[in-house]
Structure 1
Amino acid sequence: MEGLTLRIAIIIVCIVFLAAVSRQVAHGKLLLKYSLLWMTLAVASIVAALFPDPLFTISNALGFEAPSNFIFFTALFFLLAICLSLSIIVSKQATRIKNLVQQEALIEKRLESLESKDAR
């Protein structure tokens, strides 16, 4: 009975999480392409809560002593993957911002140069 309560709690938390992510997308605070990873993780958690037997089989086949260790390992792996993808996105954005600032400075310099020529 205790396991069923935990599974129901996991499903409820994941559904609330999916609703929160969907709301962020609807309000334009989160782009859909970045939300898909979070939604996939939540759906995978719901599937694992509904059908735990394959999870136990996989954890035993991979040599984990307890299925909870396998779940923690998998969760850690997915969170690291998400952090890596977000780091890549931030790095690309930082480079784009730097390039835009440099271009803007060059345009501003050209404009000042043209204004000074017109003033003569």
Structure 2
Amino acid sequence: MISLNLQVFLAIGIIIYIFLMIKQLLKNNLQSSFLTFYFVSTLILIGAILMPKFVDKFSKILGFETTSNMIFLITIFILFYIVFNLTLKLSKEQERIVNLTQEMSILKSKVEKLNKKEEK
């Protein structure tokens, strides 16, 4: 069974999590695709707090010695998922930066050629 300390820790984490989501949503800093993921993960955490016996039985079925081990492993997998998605986005942005830099260089070269023609 999930200990009371872990339940309190999760409850505090969820409150902070929800506060940060709302704050970023109000600032329009959070994309809807991320918001959906964070909202679903928050609902799962709330379910874990409200139904600790179910989570305990589920962790035993999966072969975990303690429920907290399962929770931390799931958290680690979620973090890996987030890092992977951010890496994909970063790769796309780096490609865009390279393309924009190349386009800017081409345009700059064309402007310089036009300026030279006008000077003559």
So what's the TM-score if we normalise by structure 1? 0.85
User: Percent of pairs identical after alignment?
Assistant: 28
Tell me the residue number matched to 1:14: 14
Cα distance between partner residues in 1 of 2:35 and 2:105:
34
Q: How far apart in 1 are the matches of 2:66 and 2:5?
A: 20
Distance in structure 2 (CA, Å) of the matches to 1:4 and 1:63: 22
Name 2:94's counterpart in structure 1: 94
Distance in structure 2 (CA, Å) of the matches to 1:113 and 1:57: 74
| Greater RCO (CA < 8 Å, at least 6 residues apart) | 2
1:114/1:100 Cα in 2 relative to 1: closer, same or farther (>3 Å)? Answer: same
8 Å contact kept, 1:21–1:35? yes
Structure 2 equivalent of residue 27 of structure 1: 27
Question: How far is the alpha carbon of 1:7 from its aligned partner?
Answer: 2.5
Q: How many residues align?
A: 119
Relative to the length of structure 2, the TM-score reads: 0.85
Which moves more between the two structures, 4-13 or 49-58? 4-13
Partners of 1:98 and 1:36 in 2: how far apart?
Answer: 30
1:57-115 per-residue CA deviation (whole Å, 9 max, x = no partner) reads 22111111111111111111111111111111111111111111111111111111112
Residue in 2 that maps onto 1:63: 63
